[in-house]
Chain A
Amino acid sequence: MGYKVNRPEFTLAENAYFVEMAKGIGVATKHLVENLASRKHTVTREYPEQQPEYAARYRGQHRLMLRDDGRARCVACMLCSTACPAKCITIQAGDYGDDQVEKYPIKFEIDLLVCVYCGMCEEACPCDAIRMDSGVHAAPELHRAASRVGKVDLLRLGELSIAQQGGTFR
C-alpha cells in the first residue's frame, strides 16, 4: 500500500539550473526592495518596541488579587499548590490573628521556569485570589532564582476583584 506520488518531470530550462536560480534571486530581490520601501507586507514584529496583542483568555504570568484594604485576597488554602501539576507553588501560611480573614500567605512563591501555564491554579482557587490574566508573559531571566517570583511581585500586578469574599450574604 502507499500513495502514488506524481513527480513532475523537470523541463530542460529547469534542468539547466541557471535560469531558475536567476528567477529565485529575482523574487528575493523584489521582496527586499519592496520591504525596504514599505513595511506593509512584513510579517515579523518589531519586538520589543511593538508588543503583541494577547487574547483576553491568554494565560500569562500569575498575579495575586487584592482586597479593598490592599492586602492579598489569598488565604493560603493551598488549593492552587495542590492542583498544580508542576508543583511549582510554594506557600507558607500565617495567622493575621484577627477573626475576619485569619489566614494569609507569609510566603507565596511561583517558580515560573517550572510552571507549565496550565491554569489549574486559577481554576482551583476558591477566592479569586490568583489569576493569570495579567497579560504579561514570563520574561527570560539571567538567573534561575529570578524566575521564582514572590508575593510582592505577584501582588504588584494584582488589582481589586469584583468577587465578594464569602459570598453575597455575609
Chain B
Amino acid sequence: MSLIKVKIDGTEVEVPPGTTILKAAEQAGVEIPTFCYHDALTRPANCRMCLVNTNKAPKLLPACYSTVMDGMEVTTTDPKTEKTRKSTLEFILLHHPVDCPICDQAGECTLQNHYFDHSASKSRSFTRKNHKPKAVEIGPRVTFDAERCIVCTRCVRFCDEVSKSGELQVVQRGERSEISTFPGRSLDNAYSLNTVDLCPVGALTSTDFRFKMRVWFLNSANSVCSGCARGCNIIVDHGENRVQRYRPRYNADVNQFWMCDAGRETYQEFQQQRLDSGRVSGFEVPTKDALSAAAAAIDAFVKERSVDALAFVLSPLSTNEDTWGVLALAEALGVTRFYVGGRAAGQADELLVLADKNPNRKGLETLLAARGLTAEPLSALTTGIASGAVGGVVWVGHEHPRNAPLEAALQKLALRVVLTSNASVWSTGASVIVATRTFEESDGTWTNAAGKTQRLFRALEPLREIPPTWDAAARIGRALSAALPLWLSARSVFDELVRAAPTLATTWDGPSGRKQGRPDVPNPGFRAQAFPRRG
C-alpha cells in the first residue's frame, strides 16, 4: 500500500490512504479542535467543530470524517476556517446556559477551552435561552444537565458501542434535542461513569464527585486501579491530601480508555478507618514504638514457642515491593507457613472486570515462587489454628472478607502483629498494629492477571511518619538483628525483586521517563508532613 502525500498548514506528511485529515494533522503536529470525535467511537461528524479548508472541495470538510486525498492541501488557520469555527461555537453557545460557576466541568471543559482558543467573542444573542431539565439523576452514579449538552452523542455512542447496553438516545429535534434514557431505563450500566469522562461539557457529571472540589485544585498521579486483577491504568486526582476521584488513563494493552464504575469507588475503601498511628495493646503509639513492640513480640513468641508456629498472612493487594519486604522478613526469621487472603472473588464481565478482585495476585504468586515458598488460602488458617500448629501470625492488609470461624479462631492466638493501612475486623484485638501506607501513598508495582507489571506513582503524602509495608517489615527485621538489606526506596526493593523474578520487570519512571507522582522516598519524616491546606 503506497503512502499518499498531504500538506497540512504547509507541513508535508505521508499517510496511508483512508487516513482522516484529523489523524494526518496529528502526525503533522497540527491540532484541530473537535467535540464529537473520539478515537474509540464511531464518527457521526455532527458537531462541525473540526471543519477545515482544503484544496479538494469547495466547502469546508469535517476533519474527523473526511479522508485525505493525494496532493491534498489542508489549511486550519485561514480566515475562512477560523470564521467557521467561531460561528460553530456561537451556534453551540446559543442556548448554552454558561453556568460555569456551578458546573463541575469548568476547568476541564472542552467548550470553555475551544471558546477561549477560537472565539472569545461576546454573545450577540438577544433571544431568551431555552430551558431544559437540570440536575437530573439520569443514572445512579451520573447527574445530567440537559441545558449544557451540546448533543455530540458521544455518550449515546459509548452505550451503544462499548458498554453495549444502549440506554441512551437523542430525543426531540434541533435546538430542543436532548439526551434521554429509553422509557423505564436508567443509565446504570457497569461503565456508566465513562460517559462523564467522554462528555466534552458538563452535561454528564459524576454524582460522587459532584461539588466536591474544583478540578483546578486537584493534583494528579498516575496509578493503577485496585478494583480487580485487570489493573486498569488510572489517574488519581487528589486534593487536600485526599483522593477525590479516579479517572481512567489510556493504555492500549490493558483498558483502552475505560474503567468500570466499581473501580472508581474503591478509593473510599482506603479512606474508611484509616490508621494514622500504630497501636500496642490498643493504645496509639508512634510508628517506631509500634515497630519495636512488633519486633519484641515476635522475638518473645519465637523464643517461647518456635518459629514453626508462626504464620504470615499475605495480601494480594500489597505492592510487589511490600510483599518482597514481608517475604524477606519471613525468610530471615525462618518462617515456612504462608496464607494468602485478599478480596473474595466476584463477577467478571466481557469488557474489563475480572472475577479476581485483587490487583496483584499474579505478582504475589511470582514472588513466592521466586523465593521457593508456597502458600495456602486464608481459609486454611482456621484449621491451622484449631490443630494448634499455628500459634501466632504476622498479618498484612485489611482487605480480607469476613469469616466468622477464623475471626473466632484468631482470638486464641498468642501473637497477632498486623501491618495494615486501615483498621478492620482483622486488626481488632491484635497485640501490635503497625500502620502502613495505602497504595496511593506508596511507590510500587502491581502485576495484573495478564502478567503485566505496572507502576503506581505516589499520589498522597503519607500521614505522619507512616512507613510503606516493605520498610516496616525491614525495620522489624533489623530490630530482630536479621540480615535484611538496607533498602533506601521502593526503587531499590524493586530492583532487588526484579533480579529474583525477572518477569516482573517494568519501567520504573513511566514511559516518558518522567516522574508522575511525588518523589520516591521512604521516610520523608517531619519535613514532608501533610499540613492542611488553607483556602
| Residues of A participating in the B interface, judged by any CB pair closer than 8 Å | 75-79, 81-82, 84, 86-90, 93-95, 97-103, 111, 114, 126-127, 166, 169-170
Of the listed residues B129, B136, B212, B535, the one surrounded by the most CB atoms of chain A closer than 10 A to its CB is: B535
Q: Which residue of B lies closest to A100 (CB)?
A: B134
Judge if B351 is at the interface, Cβ distance under 8 Å: no
**With A93-B211, A103-B102, A169-B129 as contacts: A98 and B135 at CB distance below 8 Å:** yes
Interface residue ranges of B329-343 to A (CB < 8 Å): none
**B126 vs chain A, min Cβ distance (A):** 8
A81 contacts B535, CB within 8 Å? yes
The 29 listed contacts between A and B (C-beta, < 8 Å) are A75-B101, A75-B102, A76-B102, A76-B211, A77-B101, A77-B102, A78-B217, A82-B214, A86-B535, A88-B535, A90-B534, A90-B535, A93-B211, A93-B212, A94-B211, A99-B135, A100-B134, A101-B102, A102-B134, A103-B101, A103-B102, A111-B534, A114-B534, A126-B101, A166-B99, A169-B125, A169-B126, A169-B129, A170-B128
Rounded to whole Å, the gap between the CB of B176 and the closest CB of chain A is 18
| Residues 214-229 of B at the A interface (beta carbon under 8 Å) | 214, 216-217
| Total number of B residues with any Cβ neighbor in A under 8 Å | 24
Min C-beta distance of B149 to chain A, whole Å: 15
Interchain CB contact under 8 A, A99 and B129: no
Q: Which 5 residue pairs of A and B lie closest in terms of their CB atoms, listed nearest first?
A: A77-B101, A87-B535, A99-B134, A103-B102, A93-B211
Known: A99-B135, A103-B102. A88 touches B534 (CB 8 A): yes
B129 and A170 contact, CB distance less than 8 A: yes
Contacts A93-B212, A169-B125 known; list 13 others, CB within 8 Å: A76-B102, A77-B100, A77-B106, A78-B214, A79-B101, A82-B217, A86-B535, A88-B535, A90-B535, A99-B135, A102-B135, A126-B100, A166-B97
B127 in contact (CB, < 8 A): yes
The reply to whether A84 and B101 form a contact with Cβ atoms under 8 Å apart is no
Interface status of B133 (Cβ within 8 A of chain A): yes
Decide yes or no: A169 and B128 within 8 Å by CB, A81-B535, A95-B211 being known contacts: yes
B199, chain A: closest CB distance, angstroms? 17
B80 within 8 A of A: no
A166 to B535: give the CA distance in the assembly, Å.
26
**CB-based contact A102/B535 at 8 Å:** no
Q: Is the CB of B56 closer than 8 A to any CB of chain A?
A: no
With CB as the reference atom, state the residue of chain B lying closest to A97.
B135
Kindly list chain B residues whose C-beta atoms are within 8 Å of the C-beta of A97: 135
A89 to B217, CA, bound (A): 14
Bound Cα distance A64, B135 (Å): 25
Contact with A along B102-123 (1 / 0, CB 8 A): 1000100000000000000000
Query: Is the CB–CB distance between A169 and B127 below 8 Å?
Result: yes
Contact string against A for B residues 415-449, beta-carbon threshold 8 Å, 1 for contact and 0 otherwise: 00000000000000000000000000000000000
In Å, the complex CA distance between A97 and B211 comes to 12
Minimum C-beta distance from A73 to chain B (A): 11
A93 to B535, CA, bound (A): 12
Contact A127 B101 (CB under 8 A): yes
Which residues from chain B contact A89 at a C-beta distance below 8 Å?
A: 535
Interface flag for B210 (CB, 8 Å): yes
When distances are taken between beta carbons in the complex, the residues of chain B under 8 Å from A169 are 125-129
B109 CB, nearest partner CB in chain A, Å: 13
CB closest residue in chain B, given A77: B101
Residues of B within 8 A of A82 (CB): 214, 216-217
Would B210 and A95 count as touching, CB distance under 8 A? Answer: yes
Complex Cα spacing A166 to B102, Å:
11
Q: Which of B499-535 contact A (CB under 8 A)?
A: 533-535
Q: Which of B135-157 contact A (CB under 8 A)?
A: 135-136
Complex Cα spacing A88 to B533, Å: 10
Determine the distance from Cα of A82 to Cα of B533 in the docked complex, in whole angstroms.
13
Give bound CA distance, A124 to B266, whole Å: 36
The interface centre, meaning the residue of A87, A102, A166 with most chain B CB atoms within 10 A of its CB, is A102
Q: Which residues of the other chain, A, contact B128 by a CB distance below 8 angstroms?
A: 169-170
